Structure 1
């Protein structure tokens, strides 16, 4: 079941279509490339999503994104096929918003703590009645609420930042965005400071004032949270996860992860799967 809108005005967020399906075993889509964003929320059951060469095993309460221009494939489980809901959308604000909360082709998975919040919104989409203009306006309002739920959940699951104001706020937000988009690269505090246009020691002092921790600790926390997410949701070898989160030495990664989570990566994966 799905519905499609044709009045694409390229606003901040513009809903293209939405739908809901209980899939038969091994039902699949792709591999394909889209010219829009696709957000898929899994009600129940199991399946896999493959994007950027990584396969993620997902279940009820998880979701995944497909990004414009990136090849993606997803398939329902053979024994316990998933039931899912989806929205396709675009908009001038979409890329900046998603990257700002840490969702990207390299980080497309989210596990939702409040499963009912998204279901309620998707139910409203499914039950829309009225003329086309009313439905389009109302549906785009629901899409904004879906984005708000994502924002709230990502904010709670990411390292916290205290509110800043004025010019400092712009510097801090730019630094956070740079870190969350480039944690997999060989970035350093001097590089981050240069990126936002500040001298290193001044930047470090400002960042610690608002974050309660220096930027190198914040960067490490982002990498560790991402590593934990990959261990839980993908079948990537630990060595590949190390390289995917900015480490060039698996022993260094394992030691760091063990200090952070008080257990080695392999044990963490076994306990969370």
Structure 2
């Protein structure tokens, strides 16, 4: 196996990650030598490869994928992976690496998943290639360049969303309802909200919302609200000297006794004991 020369690689690596919602880390293309391999290893960001020609092998989570022209594969952050060019027909691929708070939710609206990290979509191969090329052409370490690259990346992901399967679109609809409900909970948890309030905000009935929470989060909306409130209460207990009663009211519990019972059920100790324990850890 020989390593690629500089003439075989065209790449750009961002010096700074200026956008938190979605930021391009690197982008480029590579003509691989026979048997050239990366990994096994992990990345700290998402890395999407699109095969322009030739063949190769992609290994992740104990599975091996044999890929060819038109195929696309995605490596998830902190997930061990390995990919290797074919000995006889080594592949040429283009890639874009990215991360950000929006990345997971955006990709969840495509056909990609951790269990299905490969797309065999030859019919949109040319479009994927052009969209990654647009990211590369927008490169630049200025703030304007970062915004331009991210805009091109958003456009590419939107195209993948538009071309996702009917099954994925149904999953996306369900996931979107749950995400919408979670945002409502995060913004209103300090008020005495009800499950009917949450369902009404998301535009679905209570039973549908319950089924979606169970399917996606493996818990009911009521349990999620309580867990989120207790999580916020823990933060206030650790970071402030507010009285327990004030904390209970701040996270949506009008009854201090009920708050104490809910807290103990979730954390295995009372709010007072939790505060003392956490204070001891800081000492």
Deviation of 1:5 after TM superposition, in Å, equals 1.1
Point out which structure has higher relative CO (alpha carbons under 8 A, 6+ apart): 1
Aligned-partner Cα distance in 2 for 1:170–1:22:
53
**Partner of 2:107 in structure 1?**
98
> Does 1:115 find its partner at 2:125?
yes
> Does 1:138 find its partner at 2:148?
yes
Aligned-partner Cα distance in 2 for 1:177–1:100:
17
Unaligned runs of at least 5 residues, structure 1: 183-191, 198-273
Deviation of 1:156 after TM superposition, in Å, equals 4.7
* CA RMSD of superposed structures (Å): 3.3
Deviation of 1:126 after TM superposition, in Å, equals 3.4
Alpha-carbon contact 2:28-2:136 (below 8 Å) kept? yes
- 1:137-156 paired onto structure 2 within 5 Å: 137-156=147-166
Deviation of 1:103 after TM superposition, in Å, equals 2.5
> Does 1:2 find its partner at 2:2?
no
Alpha-carbon contact 2:38-2:83 (below 8 Å) kept? yes
**Partner of 1:17 in structure 2?**
26
Corresponding residue to 1:167 among 192, 202, 218 = 202
Aligned-partner Cα distance in 2 for 1:111–1:84:
14
Deviation of 1:136 after TM superposition, in Å, equals 1.7
Deviation of 1:195 after TM superposition, in Å, equals 4.4
- 1:21-32 paired onto structure 2 within 5 Å: 21-32=30-41
TM score, norm. by length of structure 2: 0.56
Q: After superposition, give the CA deviation of every residue in 1:12-70 in whole Å (9 maximum; x if it has no partner).
A: 21111101111111111100011111111111211111001110111111111111111
**Partner of 1:58 in structure 2?**
67
**Partner of 1:223 in structure 2?**
none
**Partner of 2:98 in structure 1?**
89
Q: After superposition, give the CA deviation of every residue in 1:115-166 in whole Å (9 maximum; x if it has no partner).
A: 1211212222333477733322211111111111221122456465898995
Aligned-partner Cα distance in 2 for 1:175–1:123:
41
Aligned-partner Cα distance in 1 for 2:164–2:71:
13
TM score, norm. by length of structure 1: 0.58
The residue matched to 2:17 in structure 1 has which SS? coil
The residue matched to 1:25 in structure 2 has which SS? coil
Larger Rg: 2
Q: How many residues align?
A: 187
The 4+ residue runs of structure 1 with deviation greater than 4 A are 159-166, 169-179, 194-197
Alpha-carbon contact 1:10-1:92 (below 8 Å) kept? no
Deviation of 1:93 after TM superposition, in Å, equals 1.3
